[in-house]
Amino acid sequence: MSLHDRIPNNVDLCNDRRLQKALEQWQPRFLDWWLEMGPDGFQTKDVYLRTAVSVDRDGWATFEHVKMPDYRWGIFLTPEERKRPVGFGDNPDIESFEEVPGEFRNPLRRLIVTQGDTEPASVEQQRLLGRTCPSLYDLRNLFQVNVEEGRHLWAMVYLLHRHFGRDGRDEADELLARRSGDANKPRILETFNQPIRHWLSFFCFTMFTDRDGKYQLGALAESGFAPMRRTCQFMLTEEAHHLFVGETGITRVLRRSAQLAKLFDGDVVKGGGIPLEIVQRYINYWFSYSLDLFGSEISSNSADFFAMGLKGRFDEEKKYADHSAREGFMNVPVIEAGRVTQRQVPLRNALNEVLRDDYIKDCERAVKGWNRALEEEGSSFRVTLPNRRFHRHLGEYAQHSFTTDGELLADAGTADAYYASMLPSEADEAYVDSLMVGVTKPGAFANWIAPPKNGINSQALDFEYVKL
């Protein structure tokens, strides 16, 4: 098979010898990485996967049983009908960049590398989940997410190889060399070094952490660097499924726990389910860790990325009238003299916070849906999102402790005990782990989770999503 056949693409790969050569050298390393650090077991099994073979309506979602190592990781940029100027920042009216302007080379490379690093990191974090899948439907969804994160890595590696020469090739190699959670060669962003031990964390991760992906990619999909903009647009179409897996996964857990509470007189453990308080603690953990991914509340990096036209706001083109963001301030709560006070921050320096706001609103929408499900099941329990200051490792709040309502906890001893009560304990981890037994009979689901409403691509729930 020629490289062109192996890598479906709409970037005219077959006519760029240099790029072809670079990617031909990288591809076997990617496969080695996939076999070593990708899903453990199941590599020889047929999985009902969606593969993008072109960007048009029919081509972007082809469903068939394939073995994961044979998945055709492609490179797709969303076509654009009209020429677009940069659109925001210091020079909104100049034409979009097709090549990298020299003075923007370092920051742009950094954005691409940071984005790229998260993709293989998440595959590594999810590597061991297959054996404890709650159903074949869920197993297939896990692998779909994994191969697409692999494709997102390809998307960033394409930009590095095509636009950054030798440096880019070195960075592409480094993306395969770092390892999630490794003390010596960790992944770049800390959230991607946290273990995902079981499926409850997997659903929280795809709900909250993949959703950071949606907002970061959305901001990069506004970029004045056209190849970045277009590749992120295509990545977002795949991202929607990851978010669906997370959001509906939590809904199904909550539903089942509420049902078991009813059946077992409030004793969900007796019914073999996950108590709602435990689910809440996992929400607290993954939501707060995902908030870190937006960077510091007050950030000169965010101002620079925006000024250069490299990273906009979410929906920059559609949602805003003023694309300079030079005027205006944002009130950011900061800690001064042991109290939470407001600081006026120039808008451009608060763009991480603007994006985090959009993200939190989206999460709040999902929580409403979860609580509707609990209500339908006759439960009076309600899940909530902790305040954005709770359990942060980065930014204005990292040096302090806060309640889930955002109140400052001045006394360190009290704070430690409080955090321990609001976050998953080792006992929670062990209990949830104990429920994770692989269920692989077509149509069967583990006891701790409700079945989904529908199958994948209109298939029945008892379809053989993975042939074992």
Within 8 A by CB and 6+ apart from 380, the residues are none
Structure tokens at 259: 């049902």
Nearer to ligand BYC, 221 or 268 (CB): 221
Q: Which of the choices ligand BYC, Fe ion, none does residue 387 contact, using the CB cut-off of 5 to 8 A by kind?
A: none
Nearer to ligand BYC, 149 or 377 (CB): 149
Nearer to Fe ion, 212 or 377 (CB): 212
Nearer to ligand BYC, 180 or 379 (CB): 180
Nearer to ligand BYC, 55 or 298 (CB): 298
Structure tokens at 8: 């479906």
Nearer to ligand BYC, 231 or 352 (CB): 352
Q: Which of the choices Fe ion, ligand BYC, none does residue 109 contact, using the CB cut-off of 5 to 8 A by kind?
A: none
Q: Which of the choices Fe ion, ligand BYC, none does residue 114 contact, using the CB cut-off of 5 to 8 A by kind?
A: ligand BYC
Rounded to the nearest whole angstrom, what is the least distance from the CB of residue 458 to ligand BYC in the complex?
Answer: 27
* Inter-residue contact 327 to 333 (CB < 8 Å): no
Name which of residues 154 to 213 contact Fe ion (CB under 5 A): 210, 213
In DSSP notation, 219-255 reads HHTT-SBHHHHHHHHHHHHHHHHHHHHHHHHHHHHHH
Q: Which of the choices Fe ion, ligand BYC, none does residue 153 contact, using the CB cut-off of 5 to 8 A by kind?
A: none
Rounded to the nearest whole angstrom, what is the least distance from the CB of residue 285 to Fe ion in the complex?
Answer: 19
Which stretches of the chain bind ligand BYC, using CB under 6 A? 111, 114-115, 118-119, 122, 149, 189-191, 209-210, 212-213, 216, 292-296, 299, 301-302, 311, 352, 394
* Inter-residue contact 219 to 244 (CB < 8 Å): no
Residue nearest to ligand BYC (CB): 295
- The full length of the chain comes to 468
Contact between 242 and Fe ion (CB under 5 A)? yes
The region of 41-49, 114-122, 181-189, 346-354 touching Fe ion under the rule CB under 5 A is: 114-122
Nearer to Fe ion, 152 or 356 (CB): 152
* Inter-residue contact 223 to 107 (CB < 8 Å): no
243-272 CB burial, b ≥16 within 10 A, e <16: bebbbbbbbbbbbbbbbbbeeeeeebeebe
* Inter-residue contact 258 to 271 (CB < 8 Å): no
Nearer to Fe ion, 119 or 247 (CB): 119
Within 8 A by CB and 6+ apart from 204, the residues are 246, 250, 282, 283, 285, 286, 287
Under rule CB under 5 A, how many of the chain's residues touch Fe ion? 6
Structure tokens at 448: 């701790």
Contact between 152 and Fe ion (CB under 5 A)? yes
3 state SS for 291-348: HHCCCCCCCHHHHHHHHCCCCCCCCHHHHCCCCCCCCCEEEEEEEECCEEEEEEEEHH
Within 8 A by CB and 6+ apart from 159, the residues are 112, 168, 227, 228, 231
Q: Which of the choices ligand BYC, Fe ion, none does residue 294 contact, using the CB cut-off of 5 to 8 A by kind?
A: ligand BYC
Q: Which of the choices ligand BYC, Fe ion, none does residue 144 contact, using the CB cut-off of 5 to 8 A by kind?
A: none
Enumerate binding residues for Fe ion (CB under 5 A).
119, 149, 152, 210, 213, 242
